Amino acid sequence: MDAADTAMAAGEPLDHALIRTRLANGGGLVGVDLVYLPVAGSTNDVAGEMARIGASHGTTVVADAQTAGRGRRGKAPWQSPPGGSIAMSVIVRLQAVAPERLGRIAIAVAVAVGDAITSATGLVTAVKWPNDIVTSAIGDVGTVRKLGGILIEPALGNHPDGTPVMRHAIVGIGINANVPVSRFEVMDQASLAPASLSGELGGPVSREDVIVGVLRALDHVGSMCSDTGWIETRQRYEVRLAWRGRPVVVGFPVEGSSAVRRPVAGELIGIDGSGALTVRDQSGTLHVFHEGDVRVRTTELDRGVRLPVKP
């Protein structure tokens, strides 16, 4: 790493007082109750414990660095170097949400985060289903790089009548802000290459601006998930869905299990009303996925799988 990269990576500590002031004057709820930690193991773990003892909707944990962040299914650590990353978790308490609608929250958060990044920095992003924030280039796997990730951990329970509901959810958000890509460890072959806001824009960004923008955007997640708001949310998501209309392969890694499920190849169509991915195979059959890992021409997943070719 050269001297410029070292200086950028070191960065300045977050001005959490400024974040609090701006959010307090914004009229929303998310982030007004903000806990700042110079270093955290996992902000999701901290927020989860706070939620269990009654912390209110919108309570937010922000850390300058994480040492034990995690990705979906716990399959990969989320790297949050000090001074240049954004690592935060928000407690979301909506009116009782049925478990089959939890996918809407992931979709709405991805749209909100993408909009906030664009508003704060001018950078237009895309999303890799379900909720990875990626560069907006549409093309082969190498041209889509990961800027950030979203990890949603719901706490499920039951109504007195026994109906399953979501009591709350922890929305964890990690964004590579002013981090030189050279600082990231080499990922496995199946992982997207990393990217950062500063790398895409050619200079550092205000982490405070991005955080405030994201937290203000999250104030609208409830309405975005409602029956009236969901139609527009789904449309906004599909517009930025990486590889939509392209041949993809959906694989099924299962952590801690030797179970094998054959990858499915087809054209990525979009998402359905629950937020599940829809893919049409070569025979015309539409497949719906509530889990899986989407890739374009990744060797491990493509081996022995014939992709449909558009005329």
Of 239, 267, 287, the domain-final residue: 239
Q: Confirm if 43 and 89 have CB atoms less than 8 A apart.
A: yes
Same-domain status, 62 and 210: yes
**143 C-beta neighbours (distance < 10 Å), count:** 14
Question: What CA–CA distance (Å, rounded) separates 79 from 62?
Answer: 15
Q: What is the pLDDT of residues 245-254, one digit of tens each?
A: 989 999 876 5
Res 72: pLDDT:
57
Q: For position 294, which CATH number holds?
A: 2.30.30
Q: Confirm if 294 and 250 have CB atoms less than 8 A apart.
A: yes
Same-domain status, 141 and 49: yes
Q: Is residue 216 in a domain?
A: yes
Q: What is the pLDDT of residues 195-240, one digit of tens each?
A: 999 999 999 999 999 999 999 999 999 999 988 999 999 999 999 9
Q: Confirm if 147 and 125 have CB atoms less than 8 A apart.
A: yes
Domain that holds residue 295: 247-302
Res 58: pLDDT:
97
Q: What's the structural domain count of the chain?
A: 2
Res 136: pLDDT:
77
Q: Confirm if 170 and 65 have CB atoms less than 8 A apart.
A: no
Question: What CA–CA distance (Å, rounded) separates 175 from 194?
Answer: 11
Same-domain status, 47 and 136: yes
Q: Is residue 145 in a domain?
A: yes
Same-domain status, 57 and 81: yes
Residue found under tokens 């070719």: 309
Same-domain status, 148 and 224: yes
Q: Exposed (0-12), middle (13-18) or buried (19+): which is 7, by Cβ within 10 Å?
A: middle
Q: Is residue 130 in a domain?
A: yes
Res 179: pLDDT:
87
**310 C-beta neighbours (distance < 10 Å), count:** 7
Same-domain status, 232 and 294: no
Question: What CA–CA distance (Å, rounded) separates 179 from 108?
Answer: 26
pLDDT mean over 187-193: 60
* Closest alpha carbon to 34 in 160, 166, 215, 250: 215
pLDDT mean over 301-308: 42
Q: 146-158 and 164-176 as β-strands: parallel, antiparallel, unpaired? A: antiparallel
Same-domain status, 170 and 123: yes
Phi, psi of 193 (to 5 degrees): -65, 150
Res 63: pLDDT:
95
Question: What CA–CA distance (Å, rounded) separates 182 from 273?
Answer: 39
Q: What is the pLDDT of residues 113-164, one digit of tens each?
A: 999 999 999 999 999 998 899 997 655 555 788 999 999 999 988 878 888 8
Res 230: pLDDT:
94
Same-domain status, 219 and 262: no
* Closest alpha carbon to 195 in 239, 139, 144: 144
Residue found under tokens 């040492």: 67
Same-domain status, 290 and 213: no
Q: Is residue 308 in a domain?
A: no
Q: For position 114, which CATH number holds?
A: 3.30.930.10
Residue 74: partners with Cβ closer than 8 Å, 6 or more residues away: 255
Query: pLDDT band for position 301 (50/70/90)?
Result: very low
Res 299: pLDDT:
41
Q: Which two tokens stand for residue 143?
A: 């041209």
Same-domain status, 286 and 200: no
Res 263: pLDDT:
87
* Closest alpha carbon to 106 in 124, 125, 88, 133: 133
Answer yes or no: is pLDDT of 262 > 90: no
Question: What CA–CA distance (Å, rounded) separates 293 from 79?
Answer: 20
Least confident of 2-11, 44-53, 121-130, 191-200: 2-11
Res 286: pLDDT:
96
Residue found under tokens 């009236």: 228
Q: Is residue 311 in a domain?
A: no
Query: pLDDT band for position 172 (50/70/90)?
Result: very high
Q: What is the pLDDT of residues 73-106, one digit of tens each?
A: 555 556 676 778 999 999 999 876 677 778 899 9
Same-domain status, 149 and 234: yes
Res 180: pLDDT:
85
Question: What CA–CA distance (Å, rounded) separates 206 from 225?
Answer: 29
Residue 265: partners with Cβ closer than 8 Å, 6 or more residues away: 247, 248, 249, 250, 281, 282, 302, 305, 306, 307, 308
Res 260: pLDDT:
63
What single-letter DSSP state applies at residue 39?
A: S
